[in-house]
């Protein structure tokens, strides 16, 4: 646990030193969500019906923006090889990277989502479900994204490959995240959707570090 904490602190220092990736994601999230209503048109009744889905689609795309560089910096400067030879396990490194990615991007998306809910005129009954689905879904995006970032490490046009690999894996999170918001607006019980999102998160916590470590080991060796 101490080793994981130190790794997370290291990743956060590197992220804050760079700064641009996390801010780029949240700026894209806000700007893209603002642009959607212009494409939909002036009918204000449409926005509350599609707002939850749009927020989730844009959050998913924003999460992809900073994933390509998750391991690339350490790979390019040789730090990844040193970490591989150190007592730190690649599974711990993968989990630390995913946690840091979520803290520097997912949390920002979580904070910005209620503001966008106001933009789309979502009813107050949808605000808490929106935050709850983001809190459960965005860590899953980071954990699964770490697998994709490791698999495409060092590949040409890695960003394109990363998107092609991850978008199908992200679809279940999108479906249940947006479905919970729509259900809350319609007055339905959304506990099943939240439980499924929680199940996705637990599965990702159990499997993603192992899968990411295996992909990193392949890239290093």
User: How does pLDDT run along the chain (221 residues), one tens digit per residue?
Assistant: 657 888 888 888 877 776 566 678 888 888 988 888 887 766 667 888 888 999 999 999 988 887 877 887 777 777 887 877 778 788 898 999 999 989 988 898 899 999 999 888 899 889 999 999 999 999 999 999 999 988 888 777 777 888 899 999 999 999 999 999 999 998 899 999 999 999 999 999 999 999 999 988 887 76
DSSP 1: -
- List the domain boundaries for the chain: 2-220
| Furthest-apart CA atoms within the chain: distance in Å | 59
Nearest to residue 25, comparing CAs of 98, 143, 107?
107
């Amino acid at each position: 646990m101490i080793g994981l904490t130190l790794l997370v602190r290291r990743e956060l220092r590197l992220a804050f030193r760079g700064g641009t990736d996390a801010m780029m994601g949240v700026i894209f999230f806000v700007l893209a969500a603002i642009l959607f209503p212009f494409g939909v048109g002036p009918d204000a009744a449409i926005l509350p019906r599609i707002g939850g889905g749009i927020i989730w689609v844009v959050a998913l795309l924003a999460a992809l923006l900073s994933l390509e560089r998750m391991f690339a910096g350490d790979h390019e400067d040789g730090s990844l090889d040193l970490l591989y030879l150190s007592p730190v396990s690649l599974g711990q490194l993968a989990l630390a990277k995913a946690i840091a990615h979520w803290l520097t991007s997912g949390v920002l998306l979580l904070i910005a989502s209620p503001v966008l809910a106001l933009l789309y005129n979502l009813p107050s009954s949808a605000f808490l479900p929106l935050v709850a689905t983001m809190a459960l879904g965005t860590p899953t995006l980071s954990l699964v994204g770490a697998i994709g970032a490791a698999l495409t490490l060092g590949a040409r046009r890695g960003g394109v490959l990363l998107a092609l690999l991850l978008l199908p894996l992200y679809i279940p999170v999108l479906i249940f995240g947006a479905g919970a918001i729509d259900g809350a607006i319609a007055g339905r019980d959304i506990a099943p959707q939240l439980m499924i999102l929680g199940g996705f998160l637990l599965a990702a916590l159990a499997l993603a570090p192992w899968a990411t470590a295996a992909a990193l080991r392949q890239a290093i060796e």
